[in-house]
Amino acid sequence: QQQVKQSPQSLIVQKGGISIINCAYENTAFDYFPWYQQFPGKGPALLIAIRPDVSEKKEGRFTISFNKSAKQFSLHIMDSQPGDSATYFCAASLGTASKLTFGTGTRLQVTL
Amino acid sequence: DTEVTQTPKHLVMGMTNKKSLKCEQHMGHRAMYWYKQKAKKPPELMFVYSYEKLSINESVPSRFSPECPNSSLLNLHLHALQPEDSALYLCASSLVRLAGGNEQFFGPGTRLTVL
């Protein structure tokens, strides 16, 4: 019940296109859902996060859509750029100072 | 200062060695974490310290020993590791919020190789 399932495993998008990554969770008690971006050899960087009382959050080119009834959330990257090529992880947690349960990751490649 | 720093960046050690990983943050965060990440996998939580006290241990083998000397520092002491312990070790920190929220900020990691 602690799992977070992430898809697709890899994604190739043309420059200027929209990248969409999906996650599904099982534990309805989760109350915080972040997305992290990780470049090779670097630590994960917090991109954007959402709480379950909000259905959408936008920060620049990044948008989280959250569907509480379906227990799903997704990351949309608008106007994708080659510099967005990285691995993206969704995660979920309950409470504060607690474990982040990560999805399996999506490797995004943005081509010219 | 808005970052988490980790030293060393790379570490190679033998199975009989004793070494330590260090993590530091000056953001006033009172929760600090150790995660382990294998290649092409997500980070896996090892330990959580909240207000300098160990609050979560994810059943980590005793050859890994965490220490939180003060609110800004976190150490991970390593002893008698196995080759399968080779991984990227990530430190993170966050505020402890009564209203919830769990924004964790990660350091760049220490790449550990056990020979």
A101 contacts A91 by C-beta, under 8 angstroms: yes
Tens digits of per-residue pLDDT, A24-77?
Answer: 999 999 999 999 999 999 999 999 999 999 999 999 999 999 999 999 999 999
Tens digits of per-residue pLDDT, B50-100?
Answer: 999 999 999 999 999 999 999 999 999 999 999 999 999 999 999 998 777
Q: Do B100 and A89 touch (CB under 8 A)?
A: no
Nearest CA in chain B to A99: B45
Higher-confidence position of B1 and A100 = A100
Q: How far out from the chain centre does Cα B89 lie?
A: 6
Contacts 24+ apart (CB under 8 A), B45-52: B45/A99, B45/A100, B46/B76, B47/B76, B48/A97, B48/A98, B48/A99, B49/B74, B50/A97, B50/B96, B51/B96
Q: Can you tell me the mean pLDDT for A76-101?
A: 96
Q: Which residues 48-67 of B are in CB contact (within 8 Å) with A?
A: 48, 50, 55-56, 58
- A29–chain B Cβ distance below 8 A for any pair: no
Residue with tokens 């890899």: A10
Nearest CA in chain A to B31: A97
Tens digits of per-residue pLDDT, A67-88?
Answer: 999 999 999 999 999 999 999 9
Q: Do A43 and B98 touch (CB under 8 A)?
A: no
Structure tokens at A50: 């959402």
Residue with tokens 């991109």: A47
Model pLDDT, residue B99: 77
Q: Which residues of A touch B30 (CB under 8 A)?
A: 97
Model pLDDT, residue B101: 83
- A51–chain B Cβ distance below 8 A for any pair: yes
Higher-confidence position of A103 and A1 = A103
- Residue B1 pLDDT exceeds 70: no
Angle at A103 between CA B115 and CA A26, to 5 degrees: 135
Model pLDDT, residue B2: 67
- Residue B42 pLDDT exceeds 70: yes
B26 contacts B2 by C-beta, under 8 angstroms: no
Model pLDDT, residue B37: 98
